[in-house]
């Protein structure tokens, strides 16, 4: 759900070990190009049966293969969707009964990637009378290593966790009021997702998600012609530009003859980490200088001088990473830059919302007791059965081993912002929103990197002014945009008042308001 980073000392020890280890070989798959249709079918059946202990019941039309019934090794009944052009991927799907929100249809299951990676998803159709007319949104939480199910049950999903994890309550401000929303646990070993495949970079994550979407559209052709948006928070600021780039590239140059065009319209990033060079440098200004944040000084003068002194080294190492990205340039940059943020751990404040104290003995490691409630709920035997969870997987809100793997691969310090200009210039819209009380990916850093980005309309964006953002009749924050074609804007920055890292949790009504306006491409001012 959020950027819960390991401590500097633990990271340093792990980094030493990782840098001394040989690089892993890239995952490779056998080629099926020389197989006949019959042998390909046999190979797919054999691979599926060997891994999932399922029983196939017939093929569907040419190009798309659908088992109408599958029983996996946990005893769950699924529908299985496969595509001839993606022989190593399949989609298991079932309908949970009586979970979360009965006012909209939901589907859950797994994207199976070969035999060693299985990504869990939970999809909700919109609450409207005609969901097939509403946009489709993919939501990813950050971390890296945190489950998107926490975003579902804690922030913007149709229900919210309650009663210590015993129940959920109806969320009237769910984003499913305006859109069909897919919550996907990615990469492997996050949430209910499982398997032995090691994923420690955003590029591999993006390719897996592209395959998921191809299979999803085969199952739900009614959504092929509605606008598609990708959204998320925290480390999704790194995930999402990579995913958008992969989708955009594959839309232009189809990876297979039958690949579907994905009608991607925009990307929404909430309190994201996208440009390490700019964002880590913003920490002293946001934390220590007058007007940096609207609440109070976080650190003492001595602490402020200390963290400010660390910025030049952080930026120098990040610059090396940007120019020659590798584990050996980017891991030291990550280690150096997170030292700037180190004092927040000793401050007694919630780093995701500095308006609040954090007592980890009571609130949990992530400063929100609801994270423990979600784990209680998702590990309930009946919930697991309804969702079709793999029997040997224990749900955790965040997997810190995955988090560490991404950091020790240098993924954190790569220049993700550099992926965005080509997307903007081809008309893919970006909304960068941030809660004003978040320390981990603060609003100033998010604003600064949008200003620093060089692209076609950069001069016009910089000349634009921060103006009040109104939700209803109330001023809810400030926003700045460039809108060459009108509407909600091509690039828009939005700062939300009285919100931390999880804007939809802190400001549910205002969150639904700006989300709906954005996906409908309606004016903000």
- Residue 115 designated active-site: no
- In contact, 144 and 191? CB cutoff 8 Å: no
Helix (H) or strand (E) holding 420, with range, is: helix 420-425
- In contact, 432 and 446? CB cutoff 8 Å: yes
Answer yes or no: is 65 within a domain. Answer: no
Two structure tokens written together for 432: 């960068």
Two structure tokens written together for 92: 């298991």
**454 vs 56, 77, 339, CA distance in Å?**
52, 51, 28
**Region label for 80, one of left (φ > 0), alpha (ψ between -120 and 50) or beta (otherwise):** beta
Q: Which of 339, 302, 268 is nearest to 5 (CA)?
A: 339
- In contact, 52 and 67? CB cutoff 8 Å: no
Domain that holds residue 309: 1-20+85-525
Q: Tens digit of pLDDT for each residue in 431-486?
A: 999 999 999 999 999 999 999 999 999 999 999 999 999 999 999 999 999 999 89
Answer yes or no: is 512 within a domain. Answer: yes
Please enumerate in sequence order all residues whose Cβ is within 8 A of that of 43, keeping only pairs 6 or more positions apart, or say none.
32, 35, 87
What single DSSP character describes residue 328? Answer: H
Answer yes or no: is 52 within a domain. Answer: no
Q: What is the DSSP string of 224-291?
A: TTS-EEEEEETTHHHHHHHHHHHHHHHHHS-SSTTPPPP-EEEEEEES----HHHHHHHHHHHHHSTT
pLDDT grade for 261, boundaries at 50, 70 and 90:
very high
Q: Which of 249, 263, 258 is nearest to 218 (CA)?
A: 258
Identified catalytic residue from 126, 178, 231, 234: 234
Answer yes or no: is 389 within a domain. Answer: yes
Alpha helices in 356-411 (DSSP H): 360-363, 370-378, 381-387, 400-408
pLDDT of residue 74: 58
Q: Is the pLDDT of residue 67 over 70?
A: no
The helix/strand/coil state of 112 is strand
- pTM, two decimals, is 0.87
Q: Write b or e for each residue in 90-102: b if 16 or more Cβ atoms lie within 10 A of its Cβ, otherwise e.
A: bbbbbebeebbbe
Q: Tens digit of pLDDT for each residue in 274-322?
A: 999 999 999 999 999 888 888 877 899 999 999 999 999 999 999 999 9
Q: Is the pLDDT of residue 139 over 90?
A: yes
Two structure tokens written together for 276: 């390490």
- In contact, 206 and 411? CB cutoff 8 Å: no
Specify the range with the lowest mean pLDDT, choosing from 17-26, 83-92, 229-238, 451-460: 17-26
- In contact, 495 and 443? CB cutoff 8 Å: yes
Q: Which of 248, 326, 314, 322 is nearest to 281 (CA)?
A: 314
Identified catalytic residue from 85, 353, 438, 506: 438
The helix/strand/coil state of 179 is coil
Two structure tokens written together for 474: 């109330």
Answer yes or no: is 40 within a domain. Answer: no
Answer yes or no: is 517 within a domain. Answer: yes
Identified catalytic residue from 497, 501, 506, 513: 501
Burial class (CB in 10 A: 0-12, 13-18, 19+), 385: middle
Number of domains in the chain: 1
- Residue 380 designated active-site: no
Q: Tens digit of pLDDT for each residue in 219-246?
A: 999 999 999 999 999 999 999 999 999 9
CATH number of the domain encompassing residue 434: 3.40.50.1820
Two structure tokens written together for 216: 């999803």
- In contact, 94 and 265? CB cutoff 8 Å: no
Q: What is the mean pLDDT of residues 416-428?
A: 97
- Residue labelled with tokens 């042998």: 39
pLDDT grade for 19, boundaries at 50, 70 and 90:
very low
Q: What is the mean pLDDT of the chain?
A: 85
**Region label for 311, one of left (φ > 0), alpha (ψ between -120 and 50) or beta (otherwise):** alpha
Q: Write b or e for each residue in 466-503: b if 16 or more Cβ atoms lie within 10 A of its Cβ, otherwise e.
A: eeebebeeeebbbbbbbbeeebbbbbbbbbbbbbbbbb
Answer yes or no: is 28 within a domain. Answer: no
- In contact, 438 and 500? CB cutoff 8 Å: yes
Beta bridge partners of 89: 113
- Residue 234 designated active-site: yes
Q: Which of 299, 246, 266, 329 is nearest to 492 (CA)?
A: 266
Q: What is the DSSP string of 162-188?
A: EGGGTEEEE-TT-GGGTSEEEEE--ST
- In contact, 500 and 434? CB cutoff 8 Å: no
Angstrom distance (rounded) from CA 49 to CA 110: 16
Beta bridge partners of 495: 434, 478
Beta bridge partners of 184: 121
Q: What is the mean pLDDT of residues 410-436?
A: 95
pLDDT grade for 197, boundaries at 50, 70 and 90:
confident
Answer yes or no: is 412 within a domain. Answer: yes
Q: Is the pLDDT of residue 71 over 90?
A: no
**Region label for 58, one of left (φ > 0), alpha (ψ between -120 and 50) or beta (otherwise):** left
Q: What is the CA radius of gyration of the chain?
A: 22
């Amino acid at each position: 759900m959020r950027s819960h980073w390991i401590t500097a000392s633990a990271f340093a020890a792990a980094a030493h070990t990782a840098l001394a280890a040989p690089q892993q070989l890239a995952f490779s798959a056998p080629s099926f190009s020389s197989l006949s249709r019959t042998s390909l079918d046999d190979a797919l059946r054999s691979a599926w049966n060997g891994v999932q202990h399922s029983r196939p019941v017939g093929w569907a039309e040419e190009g798309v293969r659908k088992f109408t019934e599958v029983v996996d090794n946990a005893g769950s009944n699924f529908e299985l969707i496969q595509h001839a052009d993606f022989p190593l991927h399949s989609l298991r799907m079932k309908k949970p009964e009586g979970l979360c929100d009965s006012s909209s249809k939901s589907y859950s299951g797994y994207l199976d990637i070969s035999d060693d990676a299985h990504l869990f998803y939970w999809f909700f159709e919109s609450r409207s009378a005609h969901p097939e007319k509403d946009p489709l949104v993919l939501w990813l939480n950050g971390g890296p290593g945190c489950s998107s199910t926490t975003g579902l049950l804690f922030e913007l999903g149709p229900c919210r966790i309650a009663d210590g994890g015993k129940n959920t309550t109806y969320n009237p401000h769910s984003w499913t009021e305006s859109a069909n929303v897919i919550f996907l646990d990615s990469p492997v070993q996050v949430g209910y997702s499982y398997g032995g495949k090691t994923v420690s970079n955003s590029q591999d994550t993006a390719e897996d998600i592209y395959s998921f979407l191809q299979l999803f559209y085969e199952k739900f052709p009614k959504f092929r012609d509605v606008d598609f948006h990708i959204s998320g928070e925290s480390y999704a600021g790194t995930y999402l530009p990579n995913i958008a780039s992969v989708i955009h590239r594959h839309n232009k140059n189809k990876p297979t003859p039958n690949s579907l065009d994905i009608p991607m319209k925009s990307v929404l990033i909430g309190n994201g980490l996208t440009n390490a060079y700019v964002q880590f440098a913003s920490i002293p200004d946001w934390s220590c200088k007058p007007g940096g944040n609207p609440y109070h000084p976080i650190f003492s003068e001595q602490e402020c001088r200390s963290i400010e002194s660390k910025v030049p080294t952080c930026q120098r190492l990040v610059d090396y990473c940007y120019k020659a990205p590798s584990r050996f340039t980017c891991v030291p940059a990550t280690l150096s830059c997170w030292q700037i943020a180190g004092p927040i751990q000793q401050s007694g404040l919630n780093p995701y919302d500095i308006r609040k104290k954090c007592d980890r003995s009571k609130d949990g490691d992530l400063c929100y007791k609801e994270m423990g409630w979600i784990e209680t709920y998702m590990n309930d035997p009946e919930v697991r059965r309804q969702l079709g969870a793999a029997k040997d997987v224990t749900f955790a809100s965040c997997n810190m081993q995955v988090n560490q793997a991404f950091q020790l691969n240098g993924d954190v310090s790569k220049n993700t912002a550099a992926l965005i200009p080509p997307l903007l210039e081809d008309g893919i819209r970006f909304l960068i929103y941030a809660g004003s009380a978040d320390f981990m990916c603060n609003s100033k850093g998010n604003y600064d990197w949008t200003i620093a980005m060089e692209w076609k309309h950069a001069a016009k964006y910089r000349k634009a002014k921060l103006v009040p953002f109104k939700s209803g009749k109330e001023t809810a924050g400030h926003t700045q945009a460039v809108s060459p074609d009108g509407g909600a804007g091509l690039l828009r920055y939005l700062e939300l008042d009285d919100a931390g890292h999880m804007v939809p949790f802190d400001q549910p009504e205002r969150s639904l308001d700006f989300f709906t306006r954005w996906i409908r491409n309606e004016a903000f001012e």
